[in-house]
């Protein structure tokens, strides 16, 4: 991901960045929709056809479901990030070209996506989306910080997708770069907005888990998470990419000029 690139085509405002991301997503929405539908079908096959009659089998099935989804979501994230980048560059690109680029960058994006999911699982108790921590007042401090953390680390996937480095280098450099760009004082408000946008699908899924559980619905974890993930992954990644490009542009603008 270039720090300078086509910065003149990036909007200056937060609303403009969100509009850029959504416009880039809409440009190739049929492609992203087809990929998301495929992920949903594959995850549905695992959920509905895999028998889990023991506790250990249930754990194995759950892990297979998670990683089946992550493998697919990483591909969509890569394609969506590339879609935003080419829009900013002003270069028309076909769906086939986006697919080829997503395949090339998939290992790096997958690695970043897996790390993000692990961090989210570890920090989820502090996000105030389920049972509140003890004491409950801890959630007042921990939850906003957790949401901001999620917003920041979710930039790693798009950054890895747009990196020109080899996949392993792109993976390990994506998180330090996401954190370094986000911690700039000038980006504080934008990081808060990004954190809110990132948390919305997770918050919706948390509410659905409670609703479906109280109604005694079957396959609660699947129906509360997979449809939301597959529907929101492409537009969310597009918005995150727009913000990542903006952060890089602003960092380049703030560098001292050479004497």
3-state SS, one letter per residue, for the chain: CCCCCCHHHCCCCHHHHHHHHHHHHHHCHHHHHHHHHHHHHHHHHHHHHCCCCCHHHHHHHHHHHHHHHHHHHHHHHHHHHHHHHHHHHCCCCCHHHHHHHHHHHHHHHHHHHHHHHHHHHHHHHHCCCCCCCCCCCHHHHHHHHHHHHHHHHCCHHHHHHHCCCCHHHHHHHHHHHHHHHHCCHHHHHHHHHHHHHHHHHHHHHHHHHHHHHHCCCCCHHHHHHHHHHHHHHHHHHHHHHHHHHHHHHHHHHCCCCCC
pLDDT of amino acid 37: 97
Question: What is this structure's pTM?
Answer: 0.91
> Residue 176 — very low, low, confident or very high, per pLDDT cuts 50/70/90?
very high
Q: Could you read off the pLDDT of 19-57 as tens digits, one per residue?
A: 999 999 999 999 999 999 999 999 999 999 988 888 888
Q: What pLDDT sits at residue 140?
A: 74
Where are the domains positioned within the chain?
Answer: 7-250
* Mean pLDDT to the nearest integer, 228-246: 97
pLDDT range class, residue 58, cuts 50, 70, 90: confident
Task: Let me know: does 6 contact 90? Beta carbons within 8 Å.
Answer: yes
Q: pLDDT: is 92 or 84 the higher one?
A: 84
Mean pLDDT on 152-174: 95
Q: What is the pLDDT of residue 157?
A: 97
- Confidence band of 1 (pLDDT split at 50, 70, 90): low
Q: What is the DSSP string of 135-176?
A: STTHHHHHHHHHHHHHHHHTTHHHHHHH--S-HHHHHHHHHH
pLDDT of residue 139: 72
pLDDT for 108 beyond 90: yes
Residues 142-173: b if buried by 16+ CB within 10 A, e if exposed? bbbebbbbbbbbbbbbbbbbbbeeebeebbbb
Both structure tokens of 88 = 């900013």
User: Of 79, 64, 78, 84, nearest to 11 (Cα)?
Assistant: 84
**188-214 vs 14-27: helix axis angle to the nearest 10?**
60
User: pLDDT digits over 119-162, tens only?
Assistant: 999 998 888 877 766 677 777 788 899 999 999 999 999 999 99
Confidence at residue 259, expressed as pLDDT on a 0 to 100 scale? 42
For the chain, what is the mean pLDDT? 90
Q: Distance between alpha carbon 120 and the CA centroid of its chain, in Å? A: 11
First-to-last C-alpha distance (Å) of the chain:
26
The rounded percent of the chain whose pLDDT value lies above 90 is: 75
In the predicted structure, residue 257 carries a pLDDT above the cut 70: no
């Amino acid at each position: 991901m270039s720090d300078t690139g086509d910065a003149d085509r990036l909007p200056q405002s937060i609303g403009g960045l969100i509009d850029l991301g959504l416009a880039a997503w809409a440009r190739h929405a049929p492609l992203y929709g087809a990929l998301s539908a495929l992920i949903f079908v594959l995850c549905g096959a695992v959920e509905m056809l895999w028998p889990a009659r023991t506790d250990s089998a249930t754990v194995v099935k759950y892990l297979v479901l998670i990683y089946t989804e992550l493998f697919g979501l990483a591909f969509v994230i890569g394609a969506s990030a590339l879609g935003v980048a080419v829009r900013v560059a002003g270069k028309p690109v076909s769906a086939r070209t986006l697919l080829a680029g997503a395949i090339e960058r998939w290992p790096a994006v997958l690695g970043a996506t897996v790390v993000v999911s692990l961090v989210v699982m570890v920090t989820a108790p502090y996000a105030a989306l389920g049972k509140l921590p003890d004491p409950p007042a801890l959630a007042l401090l921990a939850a906003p910080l957790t949401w901001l953390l999620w917003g920041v680390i979710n930039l790693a996937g798009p950054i890895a997708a747009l990196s020109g480095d080899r996949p392993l280098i792109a993976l390990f450099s994506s998180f330090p770069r996401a954190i370094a760009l986000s911690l700039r004082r000038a980006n504080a408000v934008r990081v808060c907005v990004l954190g809110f946008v990132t948390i919305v699908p997770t918050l919706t899924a948390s509410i659905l888990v409670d609703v479906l559980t109280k109604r005694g619905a079957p396959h609660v974890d699947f129906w509360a998470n997979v449809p939301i993930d597959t529907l929101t992954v492409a537009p969310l990644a597009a918005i995150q990419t727009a913000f990542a490009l903006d952060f890089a542009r602003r960092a380049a603008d703030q560098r001292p000029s050479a004497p």
